[in-house]
C-alpha cells in the first residue's frame, strides 16, 4: 500500500488557530516535510508532537520531492507544512503536489489558516469574488507592468507584501491604479493585529516616513468604472453585463434610477440580454 500526502495548514499567528485535525495528522504521519524545520519544531513542541521532520524549501523543492514521492510509494504517510498558513499559497508545495499526483498518490488537504482568506473575510466584499495575486514583483518595471495589467479588473485585488517594500508598492499602486479604497490587514491573529479600511492616497501619506513591521495583506477594491453616457438602455445594460459584478436585478435598479426610466421597462430589456448570454453558456 502506498502512503499519502497531507497538505496541512498551520497558524499564521495565534497558535489557537491550529485545527484539531491538523494536530492529529501531524502526530500520526511518518514524516513532516517543512519549509523550515527549526520553525516547525517549535510548533510541534507546543502540541507535543514528536514526528520526524525533513526540510522542504523553495530551492530544494525539485530534488526533495523525488525523495518524498519515493518514500510515499514505499508506504510512508507524509505531511507537508510551510512556515505559516497553507502550503502552496505563495509558499513551497506545488512541485511536491504535482509529482505526487503524477505518481498516483493520494493528496489530502487539511484546511486551516491562510492570510488571504483571513483578510478577505474582513474586507466586506460585495460579491465575494476577488483576484489573489500574492507577492508583486520586486523590480519596479515588472511591478508596474503587473499593476497596469490589473488596472481594469472588476475584481478586488489581494496582495501579500513585505514590510520593507510596502512604501514602494503603495506608491506604484496609487500612481497606476489611481486612488482606491483598500483593506490593510497587518499581523492578522497576532498581538498587534491592525486591520482597517483606508485609501491608497491616505495610506501613502501615513506610512511615508514610518517603519512598518510585521506581515501584511492588502485587499484593493476595484476602481469606479466610468459608465458610458448618452447610450441607449440596451447598450448600457450590455456595458454593465461586461464590466460589473452586479446582479441583473441590481443593474436594473441602478439604470432605471440613473436614466429616470421605469424599472419594469428596463427589466424587460435586461431579461432579453441576460437570457441570450445564458443560452450561449
What are the residues binding ligand SAM (CB under 6 A)?
12-13, 82, 84-86, 89-91, 114-116, 160-162, 185-190, 215-217
Closest approach, Cβ 39 to ligand SAM, in A, equals 12
| Alpha carbons 146 and 141: distance in angstroms, whole number | 9
- Which one, 9 or 251, has the nearer CB to ligand SAM? 9
Closest approach, Cβ 23 to ligand SAM, in A, equals 18
**In the complex, residue closest to ligand SAM by CB:** 85
Closest approach, Cβ 6 to ligand SAM, in A, equals 16
| Alpha carbons 243 and 239: distance in angstroms, whole number | 6
Closest approach, Cβ 17 to ligand SAM, in A, equals 10
Q: 3-state SS of 6-37? A: EEECECCCCHHHCCHHHHHHHHHCCEEEECCH
Residue 107 exposed, middle or buried by CB count within 10 Å (0-12, 13-18, 19+): middle
Nearest to 106 by CA among 22, 44, 29: 29
Closest approach, Cβ 188 to ligand SAM, in A, equals 3
- Which one, 212 or 241, has the nearer CB to ligand SAM? 212
- Which one, 79 or 116, has the nearer CB to ligand SAM? 116
Q: Which phi and psi angles does 82 have, rounded to 5°? A: -110, -175
| Alpha carbons 114 and 158: distance in angstroms, whole number | 13
End-to-end CA distance of the chain: 43
Closest approach, Cβ 207 to ligand SAM, in A, equals 15
- Which one, 23 or 248, has the nearer CB to ligand SAM? 23
- Which one, 132 or 240, has the nearer CB to ligand SAM? 132
Q: Which phi and psi angles does 196 have, rounded to 5°? A: -155, 165
- Which one, 90 or 244, has the nearer CB to ligand SAM? 90
Amino acid at each position: 500500500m502506498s502512503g499519502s500526502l497531507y497538505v496541512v495548514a498551520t497558524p499564521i499567528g495565534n497558535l489557537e488557530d491550529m485545527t484539531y485535525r491538523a494536530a492529529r495528522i501531524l502526530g500520526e504521519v511518518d514524516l513532516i516535510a517543512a519549509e523550515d524545520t527549526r520553525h516547525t519544531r517549535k510548533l510541534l513542541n507546543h502540541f507535543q508532537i514528536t514526528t520526524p521532520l525533513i526540510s522542504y524549501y523553495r530551492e530544494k523543492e525539485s530534488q526533495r520531492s523525488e525523495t518524498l514521492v519515493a518514500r510515499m510509494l514505499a508506504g510512508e504517510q507524509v505531511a507537508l507544512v510551510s512556515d505559516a498558513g497553507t502550503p502552496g499559497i505563495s509558499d513551497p508545495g506545488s512541485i511536491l503536489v504535482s509529482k505526487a499526483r503524477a505518481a498516483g498518490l493520494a493528496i489530502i488537504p487539511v484546511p486551516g489558516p491562510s492570510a488571504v482568506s483571513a483578510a478577505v473575510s474582513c474586507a466586506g466584499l460585495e460579491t465575494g469574488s476577488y483576484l489573489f495575486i500574492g507577492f508583486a514583483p520586486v523590480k519596479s518595471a515588472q511591478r508596474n507592468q503587473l499593476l497596469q495589467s490589473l488596472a481594469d479588473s472588476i475584481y478586488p485585488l489581494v496582495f501579500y507584501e513585505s514590510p520593507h517594500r510596502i512604501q514602494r508598492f503603495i506608491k506604484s499602486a496609487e500612481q497606476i491604479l489611481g486612488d482606491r479604497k483598500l483593506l490593510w490587514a497587518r499581523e492578522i491573529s497576532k498581538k498587534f493585529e491592525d486591520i482597517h479600511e483606508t485609501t491608497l492616497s491616505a495610506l501613502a501619506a501615513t506610512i511615508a516616513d514610518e517603519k512598518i513591521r510585521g506581515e501584511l495583506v492588502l485587499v484593493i477594491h476595484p476602481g469606479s468604472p466610468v459608465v458610458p453616457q448618452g447610450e441607449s438602455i440596451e447598450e448600457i445594460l450590455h456595458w454593465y453585463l461586461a464590466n460589473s459584478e452586479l446582479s441583473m436585478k441590481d443593474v436594473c435598479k441602478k439604470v432605471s434610477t440613473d436614466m429616470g426610466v421605469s424599472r419594469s421597462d428596463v427589466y424587460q430589456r435586461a431579461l432579453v440580454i441576460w437570457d441570450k448570454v445564458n443560452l450561449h453558456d
